[in-house]
Amino acid sequence: MGYLPHALLVGALAFAPVAVSAQSTFPTKSVTLIVPAAAGGPTDTVARLIGESMSRTLGQTVVVENYGGAGGTLGMGRVAKAAPDGYTVAVWHIAHATAPALYDKLPYDVVNDFDHIGRITDVPMTLVSKNDLTAKTAKDLLDWIAAQKGKATYGHAGVGSASHLCALILMNETKAQMTGVGYRGTGPAMNDLLGGQFDVMCDQTTNTTNHIKEGRIKGYAVTTKAKVSSLPDLPTLDSGALPGFEVSAWHAMWAPKGVPKEATDKLVNALQVALKDAKVIDRLDSLGTAPVDQSIANPAALKSYLTAEVQRWGTVIKAAGVKGN
Ligand code: MLT
């Protein structure tokens, strides 16, 4: 048997079992879940709900950290650079797919610099306004916007965010311009809409449903082809004011590229358990959405969906001639 100096032998013995057991017992400490938008908004709502359920499965706390700005690219940049050990994940949405077309200097590759954990939900969006706007229907609202000749204001969560994308498509299809007011997320944007500081927003049902139902803002229409059961009075834009209009904000979970398989498997499993959790399902239902089918809540399905979405929105954004930086 070869001779190993004592210090090396101790080092080797100390290192090997620790490395194996640290991996085999993942997670041994809390997991940080980065939300690349402000607290209190739609992504934050989805992330906290999923994180709470995942923490029960993982046996460790999942700590949500809001890191908003630049349409979510600051937060996703932070995730891309984090240690790929499974202890940092992100919940973000469609904006991860729109970012490459909008940001020339994006410091990461949205597909190849991440491990794809799985899709979570598809959230319908709603066209809403401050409460004292006189418009009664979606058509009234679009006529009012057109009559303002660019002076109507809309809130959004940064270039490429879901609220920004929805407004861009709306302006593109109606040929009416509005003036954008950017926030770190539609949580703070909603506070200002409630205060009447801007006119209009296109935001996810997870952020607007309760405010519409309780009469604090006006809701005009939903942006999906199907009506939303939690908001039965709202027609679809497609069926009335804007035939063909369709956009929704899909959410998913990512980690930095290179997470050990055992940790990825545990994260994927905890996500899939969360999507079957009755508490998660009920809460999402009350906010106008539902978990995705289990068959697409996995890394391979998310990777191929994201790749297709990057292509799809790249074409739309190029046609609209918009840039983020
Ligand atoms: C968005 O418009 O992209 C979202 O509402 C961001 C957020 O979660 O605040």
- Where do the structural domains in the chain lie, given as residue ranges? 9-123+250-320, 124-222
Taking CB atoms and a 6 Å cutoff, what residues make up the pocket around ligand 1?
37-38, 41-44, 95, 157, 161-163, 185-187, 203-204
Question: Strands 153-156, 179-182: parallel, antiparallel or unpaired by DSSP?
Answer: parallel
Whether 144 has a pLDDT exceeding 90, the answer reads yes
Q: What spacing in Å lies between the alpha carbon of 37 and ligand 1's midpoint?
A: 6
Average pLDDT, the chain: 91
To the nearest 10 degrees (0 to 180), the angle between helices 162-174 and 299-320 is 40
Q: How many Cα atoms sit within 13 Å of 321 on the Cβ side?
A: 2
pLDDT at 320: 76
pLDDT, position 46? 97
Q: What pLDDT score does 322 carry?
A: 72
**C-alpha 24 – ligand 1 centre gap (Å):** 36
- Give per-residue pLDDT as tens, 101-131: 999 889 999 999 999 999 999 999 999 999 9
The radius of gyration of the chain's CA atoms, rounded to the nearest angstrom, is 22
Average pLDDT over residues 67-85: 96
The one-letter code for the residue type at 278 is A
Looking at the CA of residue 207, tell me the nearest atom of ligand 1: 5
Distance between Cα 143 and ligand 1 center (Å):
26
For domain 9-123+250-320, the question of CATH label 3.40.190.150 is answered with yes
Report how far ligand 1's centroid is from the alpha carbon of 204 (Å): 8
Q: Is the pLDDT of residue 226 over 60?
A: yes
Residue 179 Cα distances to 154, 155, 171, 175, 325, angstroms: 6, 9, 10, 13, 17
Probe residue for ligand 1, chosen from 46, 91, 93 as the CB with the greatest number of ligand atoms within 8 Å: 93
Q: Which of 164, 186, 192, 248 to mutate to test the pocket of ligand 1 (most atoms within 8 A of CB)?
A: 186
Report CA dihedral (211, 214, 220, 223) to the nearest 10 degrees. Answer: 50
From the candidate CATH numbers 3.40.50.11540, 3.40.190.10, 3.40.50.2300, 3.40.50.300, the one assigned to the domain spanning 124-222:
3.40.190.10
> How many angstroms separate the Cα of 246 from the Cα of each of 18, 62, 171, 221, 324?
52, 34, 13, 11, 22
Q: Using the mean position of ligand 1's atoms as its centre, give its distance from the Cα of residue 154 in Å.
A: 14
Q: How far is Cα 123 from Cα 1, in angstroms, rounded to an integer?
A: 63
Confidence bin at 24 (pLDDT 50/70/90): low
Residue recorded with tokens 């240690």? 83
Tell me the mean pLDDT in the region 37-41. Answer: 96
Mean pLDDT over 166-186 rounds to 94
Answer yes or no: is pLDDT of 21 > 60: no
pLDDT of residue 16: 36
Identify the residue whose C-alpha is closest to ligand 1 atom 6.
185
pLDDT score for 318: 85
Indicate the top mutation candidate among 126, 163, 190 to test ligand 1's pocket, ranked by most ligand atoms within 8 A of CB: 163
| DSSP of 205-240 | HHHHHHHHHTTSSEEEEESSSS--TTSTTPPBTTTT
What's the average model confidence in pLDDT over 184-211? 97
pTM of structure:
0.89
Q: What is the pLDDT of residue 325?
A: 57
* pLDDT score, position 191: 98
The reply to whether domains 9-123+250-320 and 124-222 share a CATH topology is yes
Q: What is the pLDDT of residues 235-291, one digit of tens each?
A: 999 999 999 999 999 999 999 999 999 999 999 999 999 999 999 999 999 999 999
